[in-house]
């Protein structure tokens, strides 16, 4: 309830009607190093900005995309269930996209399955079914992903299927 009120206050102060909120909790101020116990009080920040949209022509004509050579970090090394500020992989992938004049691309996991985009979830509509990578593929179980699946099922009666998607499925 307290976090909700802080988010509402940040939104009110921004004056934006359609906004994106980024909530970050860090370990706080403390000694340099990797020991989390060195920081006793976490720091909370809430960033409010306009919802980032692609140029209008992207919604009308579509966008160029590609399968990236940068792989999704293996879940055995770093859990995809944790939303962190470690974007090194995504930054390298974006650099590859920039070289190819593409806006978005797909990261594959260590088994060659689609995990997610560099800044987006992956969804395919095929034969009236919304397909998306399962959590075991390494995608982030995020608010947007869950909202898209919920709206598809509840509002539009579109069946949702989570599973392994391969590049040829695109």
pLDDT in tens, the chain (170 residues): 999 999 999 999 999 988 999 999 998 988 888 888 889 899 999 999 998 888 999 999 999 899 999 988 877 777 666 777 778 888 999 999 999 999 999 999 999 999 999 999 999 999 999 999 999 999 988 889 999 999 999 999 999 999 999 999 98
Say how far residue 49 (Cα) sits from the centre of its chain: 17
pLDDT score of 80: 65
Burial letters 38-57, b for 16+ CB under 10 A, else e:
eeeeeeeebebeeeeeeeee
With 0-12 / 13-18 / 19 or more C-beta atoms within 10 angstroms meaning exposed / middle / buried, residue 165 is buried
Which residues, 6 or more positions from 58, have their beta carbon under 8 angstroms from its beta carbon?
103
Q: Which residues pair with 45 in a beta bridge?
A: 24
Give the pLDDT of residue 110.
Answer: 93
- pLDDT score of 72: 87
- Tell me: the pLDDT tens digits for 83-125? 777 788 889 999 999 999 999 999 999 999 999 999 999 999 9
pLDDT of residue 60: 94
The pLDDT value given to residue 114:
97
HSE-CB of 1 using CA atoms within 13 angstroms: 0
Q: What is residue 37's predicted lDDT score, i.e. its pLDDT?
A: 86
Model pTM score: 0.81
């Amino acid at each position: 309830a307290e976090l909700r009120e802080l988010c509402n206050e940040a939104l009110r102060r921004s004056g934006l009607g359609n906004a994106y909120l980024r909530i970050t909790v860090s370990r706080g101020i403390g000694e340099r190093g990797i020991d989390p116990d060195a920081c006793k009080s976490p720091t909370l920040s809430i960033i409010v900005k306009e919802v980032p949209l692609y140029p209008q022509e992207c919604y009308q004509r579509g966008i160029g995309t590609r399968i990236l050579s940068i792989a999704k970090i293996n879940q055995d090394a770093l859990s995809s269930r944790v939303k962190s500020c470690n974007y090194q992989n995504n930054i390298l992938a974006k650099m590859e996209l920039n070289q190819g004049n593409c806006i978005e691309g797909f990261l594959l996991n260590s088994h060659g399955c689609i995990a997610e985009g560099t800044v987006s979830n992956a969804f395919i509509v095929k034969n009236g079914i919304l397909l998306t990578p399962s959590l075991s593929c390494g995608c982030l179980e995020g608010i947007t992903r869950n909202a898209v699946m919920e709206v598809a099922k509840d509002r539009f009666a579109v069946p949702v299927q989570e599973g392994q998607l391969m590049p040829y499925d695109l």
